[in-house]
Amino acid sequence: MLYIKVDSFALLNEFNQIWMECWLEKGYGLENWDDPTDRYLITDVHKQKVGTVEFKPYTLDSANNINKVYPFHEIDSIKENPDLAVEIDKVAILKQYRGKNLDRLLSVFVHYSEYHHIEYCVVLLERVFYKALKNVYKIPLNSVSEKIYYKGDYVIPAIIYPKEIYENKEKYRWLVTDSADYRDQLIFK
């Protein structure tokens, strides 16, 4: 099992504990999102909960928090296809589990995107993480701006193109397959 879908108060508490610990370690400001999102706990090969990822519905509203940081809503591909986009947030792996579990977190993102036909992911990426995604994992992504100071660190506003991964899985050796059911319904559509 690569992940556990957060669908209870107890799992939400575990989810919040992991991402908050990681963000405080990095000196990031904390934020909570009460609107519907799809949240996942990432598990390691021993089924230990080691990380988090959150998929938020993306809206073109300029008041959307991510659009206040960078105006993603003005990018033509996003503006023309907002239903094919999500915002990725709360990406975190506990310090003692980093390294070998990033492939598992990225695999959950790919499986989720494929099942829900996501073509664009808007993200604010920490600079070292951006370089790892681009240079080590060869994730198809584009920075859309220079670095921006946000909540305690510089981030790179970027768009990730997951369709290029899920239509060419053989090119991504780090991709982990799992027999778990990825067909959880989107709660925000």
CATH assignment of the domain containing 49: 3.40.630.30
Question: Which of 54, 34, 49 shows the shortest CA–CA distance to 4?
Answer: 49
Instruction: Provide the residue range defining the domain that includes 112.
Output: 3-171
| Model pLDDT, residue 35 | 73
Q: Looking at the domain assignment, is residue 182 inside a domain?
A: no
**CA Rg value for the chain:** 15
| 89 strand-pairing partners | 54
Q: Looking at the domain assignment, is residue 99 inside a domain?
A: yes
Q: What total of structural domains would you count in the chain?
A: 1
| Model pLDDT, residue 185 | 40
- What lies within 8 Å, CB to CB, of 161 at 6+ separation is 119, 120, 121, 140, 141, 142
Pairing of strands 153-160, 141-143: antiparallel
Q: Looking at the domain assignment, is residue 85 inside a domain?
A: yes
The Cα 150–Cα 135 span in angstroms is 23
The Cα 106–Cα 111 span in angstroms is 9
Q: Looking at the domain assignment, is residue 183 inside a domain?
A: no
pLDDT tens for the chain, 189 residues long, are 889 999 999 999 999 999 999 988 877 777 766 678 999 999 999 999 999 999 999 999 999 999 999 999 999 999 999 999 999 999 999 999 988 899 999 999 999 999 999 999 999 999 999 999 999 999 999 999 999 999 888 999 999 999 999 999 999 999 998 644 344 444 444
Q: Looking at the domain assignment, is residue 112 inside a domain?
A: yes
| Model pLDDT, residue 91 | 93
Q: Looking at the domain assignment, is residue 127 inside a domain?
A: yes
- What lies within 8 Å, CB to CB, of 159 at 6+ separation is 72, 75, 77, 78, 120, 121, 122, 123, 141, 142, 144
Q: Looking at the domain assignment, is residue 154 inside a domain?
A: yes
Q: Looking at the domain assignment, is residue 68 inside a domain?
A: yes
| Model pLDDT, residue 37 | 92
| Model pLDDT, residue 107 | 95
Residue 101 backbone dihedrals phi, psi, to 5 degrees: -100, -5
